[in-house]
Amino acid sequence: MTTPHSPTAETAIPAWHALPVDDALARHEVDASNGLTEEQAAARLLRHGPNQLREHPGRSALARFLSQLKEPLVLVLIGAGIVTSALGEWVDSSVIFGVVMVNAVIGYLQEGKAEAALAALARAIATEVTVLRGGRRRRMDAVHLVPGDVVWLSPGDKVPADLRIVSGKQLRTIEAALTGEAAPIDKHPEDLSADTPLADRRNMAYAGTTVVAGQGHGLVIATADATETGRISGLIAGAPEIATPLTKKMGEFAGLLLWVILCLAALTFVIGVLRGEAMADMLVAAVALAVGAIPEGLPAAMSITLAIGVSRMAKRRAIIRHLPAVEALGSTTVICSDKTGTLTENAMTVTELWAGGEAFTVEGQGYKPEGALSSDEPGPALREVLIAGALCNDSALSHENRQWQITGDPTEAALLVVARKAGMDEGTLRHLFPRRDELPFDSARQTMATLHDIEGQPTLYAKGAIEKILPACTRLLTAGGHELALDDGGRELIAAAAAGMAARGLRVLAMARRQVAAGSELTEQSLDTGLVFLGLAAMMDPPRKQAIAAVRTCHAAGIRVKMITGDHAETARAIAGQIGIVKDAAAAEVLTGRDLARLDDQALMTAAGQVNVFARVEPEQKLRLVRALQAQG
């Protein structure tokens, strides 16, 4: 009989996100207030192994060298070299084997460099985590985690394994590496329906993602290769090697050449014997003809040419593992690309502002505070929006090692960057207007508020979702800095501006303020009514300029570009339009992971050929899409 905590029982759970927290804890036989005992942890470590991805063993040096000799044309050369050696033609034999060795050494050295580079990329730095063991918190290497451990999460932590969230207070993670969604994800412990897609499982935290805000703890439900990241690693390792167009053509050419040479050599031998020549002499003549007809320099020339291509790609920071693969790039007809960090910057950036009834655009990308606002001199309303975004903010922006880096929520960091672009440094603002109290961001409230002394007057600044901020506002700050009563017309104007931003794939935050009585403390009721609406800040993970040019070049070369991302459909559609993957973003068809799950193989092949944007797609579905395209040639 299977024990409750055996591998079979644990892996039989269809959906941890669908289980209530108590049930998940019970299945792992653990108490959330005490965690596992050291004895339980040791036994499970023996059963499940260390919490690290299994390194898929590469080929040995000998196997890598011998693989260079498997090409059909090289095999023909080896055969010719053996025959010439048997006939005592040592010069010819030496030349043939010399060419074979040069070809093999070039390929061996190049693949060795690529393997070493990939191994360096895969080598992970050890991560320390806070674990509850025997009722006490302790720091330990994440490699010793086991299913059933209770792990505490804080801002800046890298999630060490797949976790079922047990509790969370304003807990938010960045899951771009797994799902492609650049914006932080709010986490909570409530159970979800079993069919919830991976990217929408708010009660799970996955290995390799990062905590950017809040506190919480989670139950380890999978480690090492059993995690979602481990499954992706397994899919990649299990992908079959596909012959490149060059290797296919060379195989066909070598086969044809071999038969032609053998036929000519046999014909030469037969004709010579029929004419009365000695059979031994005609055998030597036939072999000489065969050896002379083989293009000994072709394999070496091909290897050298491919090695030059690989070297050029390496200068562009692209690693090519096998030499023939570099030629396959020139035969590409379809490119499937992720979005976040590939087509986009993977850095939230404020691109539009709205204040006092006016819209403003912002130049620049990423976290570098360079780029101008469309207003040379921000008016009172725009200044208040920028000040609110910088003060009602827990993130930090720093310049280290000649790079701009952020600490905290990327959405909040984007607000600091746009304030700096307008000449407002958050450090100076925080010194002039010190924080006296705060209401941290809450996923249910969808709002954050801070209290500051502004020229001796306690002032509340709030930022959050427009559907939460706008109903609590009774007045509007005009472009000139005056407060007017907010009527229905004003609310419709603000809602229309926000809707327009959202339709362009932007994430919209609303800003508001309110003066409060001296000595007051912030409470939930402080945000219920009486706020002054300041304006809107709209941001996105912007497309890379290089990506736009690359897509244009691909289309000019007849190559189709398809976006396959885990991000939301509207965001994917907007980015695809800006980059040029689709001409009309509003009319572009977008298929989601749910849509793909309902398609059989034939329908998927049709969809893969016709549709250029796929969103909310899980890793297995990405592989299925690529195979559907390969099946069509």
Flag whether 200 is in a domain: yes
DSSP strand pairing (435-442 vs 204-205) = unpaired
Shared-domain flag, residues 377 and 519: yes
pTM to 2 decimal places: 0.67
Flag whether 241 is in a domain: no
3-state secondary structure of 406: strand
Output the six-digit token pair for 250: 């060379």
- Residue 193's nearest CA partner among 26, 9, 15 is 15
Q: Which stretch of 60-64, 519-523, 591-595 has the lowest confidence by average pLDDT? A: 60-64
Tens digits of per-residue pLDDT, 11-54?
Answer: 455 589 999 999 999 999 999 889 999 999 999 999 999 988 77
Unique residue bearing structure tokens 């020339």: 301
H-type alpha helices, 209-339: 228-238, 245-274, 279-293, 297-315, 323-328
Q: Which residue has the higher pLDDT, 185 or 508?
A: 508
Shared-domain flag, residues 274 and 305: yes
H-type alpha helices, 171-244: 176-179, 228-238
Q: Across residues 311-321, what is the average pLDDT?
A: 73
- The residue type at 442: D
- Beta sheet of 560-564, edge-to-edge order: 334-337, 560-564, 613-615, 590-592
Residue 323: pLDDT band (50, 70, 90) is low
- Domain boundary (236, 259, 291) is at 236
H-type alpha helices, 139-277: 176-179, 228-238, 245-274
Shared-domain flag, residues 100 and 136: no
Flag whether 56 is in a domain: no
Residue 443: pLDDT band (50, 70, 90) is confident
Flag whether 363 is in a domain: yes
For residues 612 and 588, is the Cβ–Cβ distance under 8 A? yes
Shared-domain flag, residues 507 and 595: no
Question: Looking at the annotation, which residues are catalytic?
Answer: 338
- The predicted pLDDT at position 225 comes to 86
DSSP strand pairing (210-222 vs 358-361) = unpaired
For the chain, the 3-state helix, strand and coil shares in percent, each to the nearest 5, are 45, 20, 35
Domains contained in the chain, number: 4
Shared-domain flag, residues 138 and 257: no
The whole-chain average pLDDT of the chain stands at 84
Flag whether 1 is in a domain: no
Rg (CA), the chain: 32
- Domain boundary (507, 522, 540) is at 540
Q: What is the CATH number of the domain that holds 520?
A: 3.40.1110.10
- Whole-number Å distance between alpha carbons of 522 and 418: 27
Shared-domain flag, residues 271 and 204: no
Tens digits of per-residue pLDDT, 535-580?
Answer: 999 999 888 888 999 999 999 999 999 999 888 888 888 889 999 9
For residues 230 and 224, is the Cβ–Cβ distance under 8 A? yes
Does 88 score more than 90 pLDDT? Answer: no
Phi-psi region of 597 (alpha: psi -120 to 50; beta: other; left: phi over 0): alpha
Tens digits of per-residue pLDDT, 404-422?
Answer: 888 888 899 999 999 999 9
Q: What is the DSSP string of 513-546?
A: EEE--TT----GGGGTS-EEEEEEEEEE-PBPHH
Output the six-digit token pair for 67: 């693989």
Does 609 score more than 70 pLDDT? Answer: yes
For residues 565 and 414, is the Cβ–Cβ distance under 8 A? no
Shared-domain flag, residues 618 and 484: no
**Whole domain around residue 216: which residue ranges?**
7-51+125-236
Shared-domain flag, residues 484 and 608: no
- The predicted pLDDT at position 11 comes to 44
Flag whether 2 is in a domain: no
The angle, 0 to 180 degrees and rounded to 10, between the axes of the packed helices 228-238 and 619-631 is: 20
Shared-domain flag, residues 420 and 535: yes
Output the six-digit token pair for 284: 């030597």
Shared-domain flag, residues 558 and 623: yes
- 529 φ, ψ to 5°? -160, 170
CA 316 to mean position of chain CA atoms: 19
| C-alpha dihedral, 231 to 234 to 235 to 239, nearest 10° | 180
- The predicted pLDDT at position 6 comes to 40
Shared-domain flag, residues 254 and 368: no
Flag whether 81 is in a domain: yes
